[in-house]
Protein backbone atom coordinates (compact mmCIF):
# COMPACT_ATOMS: atom_id res chain seq x y z
CA UNK A 1 0.00 0.00 0.00
CA UNK A 2 0.82 3.72 0.01
CA UNK A 3 1.54 4.26 -3.66
CA UNK A 4 1.96 7.74 -5.08
CA UNK A 5 1.69 8.12 -8.83
CA UNK A 6 3.18 11.13 -10.58
CA UNK A 7 2.44 11.98 -14.19
CA UNK A 8 4.00 12.65 -16.60
CA UNK A 9 7.41 11.18 -15.84
CA UNK A 10 9.01 13.38 -18.44
CA UNK A 11 7.86 16.44 -20.33
CA UNK A 12 9.53 18.66 -22.88
CA UNK A 13 7.93 21.98 -23.68
CA UNK A 14 8.63 25.22 -25.45
CA UNK A 15 9.50 28.35 -23.56
CA UNK A 16 6.40 30.34 -22.67
CA UNK A 17 4.02 27.41 -22.42
CA UNK A 18 2.47 26.00 -19.25
CA UNK A 19 2.92 22.49 -17.97
CA UNK A 20 0.76 20.59 -15.49
CA UNK A 21 2.11 17.79 -13.33
CA UNK A 22 -0.25 15.48 -11.46
CA UNK A 23 0.34 13.71 -8.18
CA UNK A 24 -2.11 11.02 -7.10
CA UNK A 25 -2.29 8.87 -4.00
CA UNK A 26 -3.59 5.60 -5.38
CA UNK A 27 -4.55 3.64 -2.30
CA UNK A 28 -4.92 6.17 0.46
CA UNK A 29 -6.35 9.59 1.16
CA UNK A 30 -3.81 12.37 1.46
CA UNK A 31 -4.82 15.54 3.23
CA UNK A 32 -1.33 16.92 2.75
CA UNK A 33 0.90 16.75 -0.28
CA UNK A 34 4.31 18.28 -0.81
CA UNK A 35 6.05 19.50 -3.94
CA UNK A 36 9.83 19.42 -4.21
CA UNK A 37 12.34 20.50 -6.79
CA UNK A 38 15.63 18.69 -7.24
CA UNK A 39 18.54 20.06 -9.22
CA UNK A 40 21.11 17.65 -10.71
CA UNK A 41 23.15 15.94 -8.01
CA UNK A 42 21.50 18.09 -5.37
CA UNK A 43 19.09 17.60 -2.55
CA UNK A 44 15.34 18.06 -2.55
CA UNK A 45 14.11 21.58 -2.00
CA UNK A 46 10.59 21.96 -0.69
CA UNK A 47 8.57 24.32 -2.88
CA UNK A 48 5.19 24.19 -1.21
CA UNK A 49 2.89 22.29 1.09
CA UNK A 50 -0.55 21.56 -0.28
CA UNK A 51 -3.53 20.90 1.95
CA UNK A 52 -6.74 19.55 0.50
CA UNK A 53 -9.36 22.23 0.06
CA UNK A 54 -7.16 25.16 1.01
CA UNK A 55 -4.44 27.31 -0.48
CA UNK A 56 -0.95 25.95 -0.67
CA UNK A 57 1.78 27.25 1.61
CA UNK A 58 4.80 28.25 -0.40
CA UNK A 59 8.38 28.28 0.83
CA UNK A 60 10.30 31.51 0.83
CA UNK A 61 11.56 32.42 -2.61
CA UNK A 62 9.09 30.29 -4.54
CA UNK A 63 6.87 32.30 -6.87
CA UNK A 64 3.30 31.28 -6.20
CA UNK A 65 2.07 32.84 -9.44
CA UNK A 66 4.54 30.82 -11.43
CA UNK A 67 4.08 27.51 -9.65
CA UNK A 68 0.36 27.04 -9.23
CA UNK A 69 -0.68 24.27 -6.88
CA UNK A 70 -4.16 22.84 -6.63
CA UNK A 71 -5.24 20.17 -4.18
CA UNK A 72 -8.90 19.76 -5.00
CA UNK A 73 -9.41 16.23 -3.71
CA UNK A 74 -7.96 13.88 -1.13
CA UNK A 75 -6.14 11.92 -3.81
CA UNK A 76 -4.95 14.53 -6.30
CA UNK A 77 -2.67 17.53 -6.27
CA UNK A 78 -1.42 19.33 -9.35
CA UNK A 79 1.53 21.61 -9.98
CA UNK A 80 1.31 23.91 -12.97
CA UNK A 81 4.45 25.64 -14.14
CA UNK A 82 3.16 28.73 -15.91
CA UNK A 83 5.00 30.45 -18.73
CA UNK A 84 7.88 28.03 -18.38
CA UNK A 85 11.42 29.17 -19.14
CA UNK A 86 14.65 27.17 -19.51
CA UNK A 87 15.63 27.97 -15.93
CA UNK A 88 12.52 26.08 -14.78
CA UNK A 89 13.99 22.89 -16.21
CA UNK A 90 14.41 20.54 -13.28
CA UNK A 91 13.22 17.38 -11.60
CA UNK A 92 9.96 17.86 -9.69
CA UNK A 93 8.89 15.38 -7.03
CA UNK A 94 5.68 15.14 -5.07
CA UNK A 95 4.99 13.34 -1.83
CA UNK A 96 1.84 12.59 0.10
CA UNK A 97 1.00 11.96 3.69
CA UNK A 98 -1.93 9.88 4.80
CA UNK A 99 -4.93 11.59 6.35
CA UNK A 100 -4.86 11.81 10.11
CA UNK A 101 -1.44 13.40 10.49
CA UNK A 102 0.54 10.30 9.64
CA UNK A 103 4.30 10.43 10.04
CA UNK A 104 5.52 9.00 6.78
CA UNK A 105 5.66 10.80 3.43
CA UNK A 106 5.35 8.62 0.36
CA UNK A 107 7.02 9.90 -2.78
CA UNK A 108 6.13 9.87 -6.44
CA UNK A 109 8.72 8.86 -9.01
CA UNK A 110 9.22 12.45 -10.14
CA UNK A 111 8.80 14.45 -13.33
CA UNK A 112 11.68 15.67 -15.42
CA UNK A 113 10.79 18.97 -17.03
CA UNK A 114 12.86 20.25 -19.91
CA UNK A 115 12.02 23.70 -21.27
CA UNK A 116 13.48 24.49 -24.69
CA UNK B 1 15.59 27.06 11.40
CA UNK B 2 16.53 23.42 11.36
CA UNK B 3 19.42 22.31 9.18
CA UNK B 4 20.70 18.89 8.20
CA UNK B 5 24.28 18.28 7.14
CA UNK B 6 25.74 15.28 5.37
CA UNK B 7 29.46 15.82 5.15
CA UNK B 8 30.22 12.88 2.85
CA UNK B 9 29.26 13.66 -0.77
CA UNK B 10 30.38 10.21 -1.87
CA UNK B 11 31.14 6.90 -0.22
CA UNK B 12 32.05 3.51 -1.57
CA UNK B 13 32.14 0.05 -0.04
CA UNK B 14 32.94 -3.46 -1.12
CA UNK B 15 30.02 -5.77 -1.55
CA UNK B 16 29.21 -7.65 1.69
CA UNK B 17 31.10 -5.10 3.78
CA UNK B 18 29.69 -2.55 6.21
CA UNK B 19 29.49 1.18 5.60
CA UNK B 20 28.38 4.09 7.77
CA UNK B 21 26.91 7.30 6.42
CA UNK B 22 27.09 10.40 8.59
CA UNK B 23 24.43 12.98 9.32
CA UNK B 24 24.30 15.84 11.78
CA UNK B 25 21.50 18.26 12.36
CA UNK B 26 20.77 21.45 14.18
CA UNK B 27 17.60 22.11 16.12
CA UNK B 28 16.49 23.76 19.32
CA UNK B 29 13.60 21.38 19.77
CA UNK B 30 13.59 18.34 22.01
CA UNK B 31 11.07 16.21 20.14
CA UNK B 32 11.33 15.50 16.44
CA UNK B 33 11.75 12.74 13.89
CA UNK B 34 14.72 11.70 11.81
CA UNK B 35 14.72 9.69 8.61
CA UNK B 36 17.01 8.14 6.08
CA UNK B 37 15.69 8.02 2.53
CA UNK B 38 17.25 6.23 -0.41
CA UNK B 39 17.06 7.52 -3.99
CA UNK B 40 18.21 4.88 -6.49
CA UNK B 41 18.89 5.71 -10.16
CA UNK B 42 15.14 5.44 -10.80
CA UNK B 43 14.82 8.64 -8.69
CA UNK B 44 12.05 7.11 -6.56
CA UNK B 45 12.54 8.14 -2.94
CA UNK B 46 12.27 5.18 -0.59
CA UNK B 47 12.12 5.34 3.19
CA UNK B 48 14.92 3.28 4.70
CA UNK B 49 14.53 3.87 8.41
CA UNK B 50 13.13 6.36 10.89
CA UNK B 51 13.86 7.36 14.47
CA UNK B 52 11.74 9.18 17.00
CA UNK B 53 13.88 11.52 19.09
CA UNK B 54 12.17 10.54 22.34
CA UNK B 55 13.27 6.94 21.89
CA UNK B 56 16.72 6.13 23.19
CA UNK B 57 16.89 2.81 21.41
CA UNK B 58 18.43 2.96 17.98
CA UNK B 59 16.13 1.93 15.14
CA UNK B 60 16.96 -1.09 13.02
CA UNK B 61 15.49 -2.46 9.82
CA UNK B 62 17.10 -5.68 8.71
CA UNK B 63 20.59 -4.72 7.42
CA UNK B 64 20.05 -1.04 8.19
CA UNK B 65 20.58 0.48 11.59
CA UNK B 66 21.16 3.93 12.99
CA UNK B 67 23.38 5.39 15.65
CA UNK B 68 21.31 8.17 17.17
CA UNK B 69 23.26 10.47 19.46
CA UNK B 70 20.77 13.09 20.60
CA UNK B 71 23.16 15.22 22.62
CA UNK B 72 25.61 15.35 19.73
CA UNK B 73 22.77 15.82 17.23
CA UNK B 74 24.13 13.00 15.16
CA UNK B 75 22.19 10.38 13.21
CA UNK B 76 24.38 7.99 11.22
CA UNK B 77 23.20 5.09 9.07
CA UNK B 78 24.97 1.77 9.09
CA UNK B 79 24.46 -0.63 6.22
CA UNK B 80 25.64 -4.14 6.93
CA UNK B 81 26.38 -6.81 4.34
CA UNK B 82 26.21 -4.25 1.54
CA UNK B 83 24.50 -5.38 -1.63
CA UNK B 84 24.69 -4.07 -5.17
CA UNK B 85 21.09 -2.90 -4.86
CA UNK B 86 22.08 -0.58 -2.05
CA UNK B 87 23.82 1.72 -4.53
CA UNK B 88 21.93 5.01 -4.41
CA UNK B 89 21.84 8.53 -3.07
CA UNK B 90 21.05 8.54 0.61
CA UNK B 91 19.37 11.51 2.22
CA UNK B 92 19.08 12.23 5.91
CA UNK B 93 15.95 14.20 6.83
CA UNK B 94 14.50 15.96 9.86
CA UNK B 95 10.90 16.64 10.72
CA UNK B 96 9.45 18.63 13.56
CA UNK B 97 7.03 16.93 15.90
CA UNK B 98 4.51 19.76 15.82
CA UNK B 99 3.85 22.77 13.64
CA UNK B 100 5.20 22.78 10.09
CA UNK B 101 5.70 19.09 9.46
CA UNK B 102 7.79 19.34 6.35
CA UNK B 103 10.94 17.33 5.79
CA UNK B 104 14.28 19.11 5.83
CA UNK B 105 16.81 17.16 3.81
CA UNK B 106 20.56 16.98 3.93
CA UNK B 107 22.70 17.32 0.84
CA UNK B 108 22.86 13.60 0.21
CA UNK B 109 25.59 10.97 0.05
CA UNK B 110 26.15 8.94 -3.09
CA UNK B 111 26.92 5.35 -2.15
CA UNK B 112 28.72 3.09 -4.59
CA UNK B 113 28.94 -0.65 -4.05
CA UNK B 114 32.02 -2.29 -5.52
CA UNK B 115 31.53 -5.93 -6.56
pLDDT band at A1 (very low <50, low <70, confident <90, very high): low
Residue of A nearest to B107 (CA): A43
Q: Taking chain B (115 residues) in consecutive chunks of 10 residues, what is each chunk's mean pLDDT? A: 93 97 95 95 92 93 97 97 97 87 92 96
B100/A49 CB distance under 8 A: yes
Question: CA of B9, closest CA in chain A: separation in Å?
Answer: 10
Buried b (16+ CB within 10 A) or exposed e, A9-47: eebebeeeeebebbbbbeebebbbbbbbbbeeeebbbbb
Question: So what's the pLDDT on residue A101?
Answer: 63
pLDDT tens-digit profile of A32-88? 999 999 988 889 999 999 988 888 999 999 999 999 999 888 999 999 999 999 999
- Burial bucket for residue B110 (CB in 10 Å: 0-12, 13-18, 19+): middle
Question: CA of A99, closest CA in chain B: separation in Å?
Answer: 13
Q: Which residues fall within 8 angstroms of residue A107, CB to CB, at 6 or more apart?
A: A4, A93, A94, A95, B37, B44, B45, B46
Residue of B nearest to A96 (CA): B102
CB B58 within 8 A of CB B45: no
pLDDT tens-digit profile of B71-92? 999 999 999 999 999 999 999 9
Rounded to a whole number of angstroms, the CA Rg of chain B reads 14
Window 61-100 of A: residues touching B by CB (8 A cutoff) are: 91, 93, 95, 97
Amino acid sequence: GAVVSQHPSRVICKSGTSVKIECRSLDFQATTMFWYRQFPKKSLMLMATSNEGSKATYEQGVEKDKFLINHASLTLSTLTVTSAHPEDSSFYICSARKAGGALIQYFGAGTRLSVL
Amino acid sequence: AQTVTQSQPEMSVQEAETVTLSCTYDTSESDYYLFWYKQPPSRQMILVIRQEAYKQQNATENRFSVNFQKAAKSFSLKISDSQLGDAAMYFCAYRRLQGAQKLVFGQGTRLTINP
